[in-house]
Chain A
Amino acid sequence: MTPLVFTFIAFSISLGAGFLGSLLGLGGGIIVIPALTLWLHIDIRYAIGASIVSVIATSSGAAATYVRQRLANLRVAMVLELATVLGAISGAYLAGQLAGRWLYLTFAGIMAYSAAMMFRRTSDVPAVRRAPWADHLKLHSSYHDDKLGHEVLYRVAGTRIGLVLMYLAGAISGLLGIGSGVLKVPAMDLAMGLPIKVSTATSNLMIGVTAAASAGVYFVRGDIDPFVAAPVALGVMLGALAGSRVMGRIPAATLRMVFVVVVLVVATQMLWKGIHL
């Protein structure tokens, strides 16, 4: 394979990763890492470095649209970023001190559970619950659903449990070098009762900050290799810009189902790693 062919393949895969990632609130690492390591035989260090870049690229590319369209809830993102950045920093400290096998198995268990719960949640409109923290932080909001053609009002609940879950999601990203949108979306969907489109859009906004918290370390160590990261960043940014433009028109139920499938794939990957480590 010549360098030009490599650049072209990495760019094309990343275009797809950015498109899917922007719809689902993920950073695309779950596509970029396996594609680079298994198919293009790139060492895992550079693959993780490229994945971190991919997370920031999806986040910035997609959130530029979601923030302007008010799909992403700015206040929810800011509040939860506190927890996720703290988590990312502690995760980076803990890396290497925890047994990898149990980490992967626990992660697989959490993912499978979230997938099952998200699959069961049929209505996108949450039950009205008392929410003193969300009231005080003024988190309740609304968004315009292009598919439904009208404004959807929603209330936010479970802010405290949301903060705890975001801390854990941040710690997992620090430990495993992933963006952890795959954990953030279920946390907002299940614990805080946000509509699925708001959850994925808000996750997109947040994952960039979580990834930025560990990007410095990876950059200085030389794990973010220009040759690998350039086509990935270019592809992911363009894919995310395109994806964020069509997301509003996709039915919420379809988005939820695609997300559940992706979560199950990741859970299986993690289970496999936990068993074979």
Chain B
Amino acid sequence: MSEPEVLISRTLKIGVITSLAILLIGTMVSYFGDSAYLLSTAELDRLHRPGAAMPQTIGGVLSGVAHLHGPSIISLGLLVLIATPVARVAVSTIIFLRARDRLYVAITSVVFFLLLFSFLIGSR
């Protein structure tokens, strides 16, 4: 069994590299797939005002990715990034479980469930 530090570091690194790759692809697809994205300033003007925010759902992002919609691919990369710390907490719980460190299994699983709870109240 690898050491806890190595496993946790690896989890974070996988999250970072995966999201880096998806973000890069998404940015490329956005710029090269849609010439309006490259040249028009409408995309920028939109961001000077708060009114235009588009609510996002995971389902919406995934169907956008299926249609090779650049901004949706970027959103997928951002979701992977947001999930990385949560995955790190989950991996920590598993590590402490295997080490039979009950106190820390309790601590990390409470943190994990608090995070899930925050996503639940957030998505309502």
* Chain A residues in the interface with B (C-beta under 8 A): 1-4, 6-7, 41-46, 53, 56-57, 59-61, 63-65, 67-68, 70, 74-75, 78-79, 81-82, 85-86, 88-89, 92, 137, 208-209, 211-217, 219-231, 233-234, 237-238, 241
- B115 interface residue (CB < 8 Å to A): yes
A3 CB contact (under 8 Å) in B37, B86, B114, B115: B37
* Chain B residues in the interface with A (C-beta under 8 A): 4-6, 8-9, 12-13, 15-16, 19-20, 23-24, 26-27, 30-31, 37-41, 43-44, 47-50, 53-57, 70-72, 74-75, 77-79, 81-86, 88-89, 92, 103-104, 107-108, 110-111, 114-115, 117-119, 121-123
Q: How many angstroms between the C-alpha atoms of A44 and B114 in the bound complex? A: 28
Asked if A78 and B111 sit within 8 Å, CB to CB, the answer is: yes
Asked if A208 and B41 sit within 8 Å, CB to CB, the answer is: no
Asked if B41 and A61 sit within 8 Å, CB to CB, the answer is: no
Q: How many angstroms between the C-alpha atoms of A42 and B53 in the bound complex? A: 12
Residues of A within 8 A of B88 (CB): 60, 63, 208-209
- Nearest first, the 5 A-B pairs at minimum CB distance are A216-B122, A208-B85, A217-B122, A226-B74, A222-B53
Asked if A216 and B85 sit within 8 Å, CB to CB, the answer is: no
Q: How many angstroms between the C-alpha atoms of A222 and B123 in the bound complex? A: 11
A220 touching B27 in the complex, CB below 8 Å, given contacts A45-B50, A64-B13, A65-B9? no
Q: How many angstroms between the C-alpha atoms of A229 and B82 in the bound complex? A: 12
Q: How far, in Å, is A254 (CB) from chain B's closest CB?
A: 26
Q: List 12 A-B contacts (CB under 8 A).
A: A3-B43, A43-B49, A46-B53, A75-B104, A89-B117, A209-B86, A212-B115, A216-B123, A217-B118, A221-B53, A224-B56, A233-B19
B81 CB contact (under 8 Å) in A60, A89, A241: A60
A220 CB contact (under 8 Å) in B12, B44, B123: B123
Asked if B23 and A230 sit within 8 Å, CB to CB, the answer is: yes
Asked if A219 and B79 sit within 8 Å, CB to CB, the answer is: yes
Asked if B47 and A46 sit within 8 Å, CB to CB, the answer is: yes
Q: How many angstroms between the C-alpha atoms of A244 and B13 in the bound complex? A: 13
Asked if A42 and B78 sit within 8 Å, CB to CB, the answer is: no
Q: How many angstroms between the C-alpha atoms of A70 and B48 in the bound complex? A: 43
- By beta carbon, the residue of chain A nearest B37 is A3
Asked if B56 and A220 sit within 8 Å, CB to CB, the answer is: yes
- By beta carbon, the residue of chain A nearest B48 is A41
- By beta carbon, the residue of chain A nearest B4 is A74
Asked if A234 and B23 sit within 8 Å, CB to CB, the answer is: yes
Asked if B41 and A89 sit within 8 Å, CB to CB, the answer is: no
Q: How far, in Å, is B19 (CB) from chain A's closest CB?
A: 7
Asked if B8 and A3 sit within 8 Å, CB to CB, the answer is: no
- By beta carbon, the residue of chain A nearest B106 is A82
Residues of A within 8 A of B79 (CB): 219
A216 touching B27 in the complex, CB below 8 Å, given contacts A3-B44, A225-B53, A233-B19? no
Asked if B78 and A4 sit within 8 Å, CB to CB, the answer is: no
Q: Most chain-A Cβ atoms within 10 A of its Cβ — which of B24, B77, B111?
A: B111
Q: Most chain-A Cβ atoms within 10 A of its Cβ — which of B15, B41, B119?
A: B119
A214 touching B118 in the complex, CB below 8 Å, given contacts A74-B8, A222-B56? yes
Residues of A within 8 A of B74 (CB): 226-227, 229-230
Q: How many angstroms between the C-alpha atoms of A216 and B122 in the bound complex? A: 6
Q: How many angstroms between the C-alpha atoms of A233 and B27 in the bound complex? A: 12
Asked if A3 and B38 sit within 8 Å, CB to CB, the answer is: yes
Asked if A213 and B107 sit within 8 Å, CB to CB, the answer is: no
- By beta carbon, the residue of chain B nearest A5 is B44
Asked if A233 and B78 sit within 8 Å, CB to CB, the answer is: yes
Residues of B within 8 A of A75 (CB): 104
